[in-house]
Amino acid sequence: MSRVVDVAVRHPRVRVAAAPVVAVVHALDRMRSYRCPRGALSIAFLGDRETSQVHADYLDDPSVTDVITFPGEDHPGEPFAGEICVNIDQARRAAKEHGTTLAAELRLYVVHGWLHLAGLLDGTKAECVAMRAGEASALAHLDRAKRRLRVVG
């Protein structure tokens, strides 16, 4: 059974189509190598200002970041996998820097957050190596499934 994925786009100028985001998450959920907790998943696409506010409020760090992931809880009646907050403005800067598209960078950020929920960390050098390998594996899986994001703006 497919999980419920709530998508909120709270950016003043960019729109991300919800259906492809849901399809990306459902494709990630079919991966055998990583397991995200069961339950609903929330994905919020934000700008710099809102991302830095969330970062300050919940992690006591007002700096701008690319992805913030909040694990949920496995409540017996209504399990909640967690929330992934994606910074569209940071993705735009990174896409330009890496010579890729905004949609591709946003897809990477969704993958990154999903992998955090699946248990991967990126605080140490060894954890970063494992995260990069997980991202590469997940992106290859999404490419085989032809799952991309659509962005307007």
| 117 inside domain | yes
Range of the domain at 80: 5-147
* 73 occurs within a structural domain: yes
Given pLDDT bands bounded at 50, 70 and 90, which one contains residue 75?
Answer: confident
10, 44 Cβ separation under 8 angstroms: yes
Does any domain span residue 112? Answer: yes
pTM value > 0.85: yes
Do the domain assignments include residue 152? no
pLDDT in tens, 116-126: 999 999 999 99
Which amino acid is it at 6?
D
Mean pLDDT (the chain) is 96
Distances (CA, A) of 92 to 34, 41, 86, 105: 27, 24, 11, 8
Q: Quick one: residue 39, left, alpha or beta (phi over 0 = left, psi -120 to 50 = alpha)? A: left
Q: Is residue 143 part of a domain?
A: yes
Question: Which CATH number belongs to the domain containing residue 80 in this structure?
Answer: 3.40.390.30
Asked if residue 79 is part of any domain, the answer here is: yes
The answer to the question of residue 50 being in a domain is yes
Total domains present in the chain: 1
pLDDT of residue 1: 58
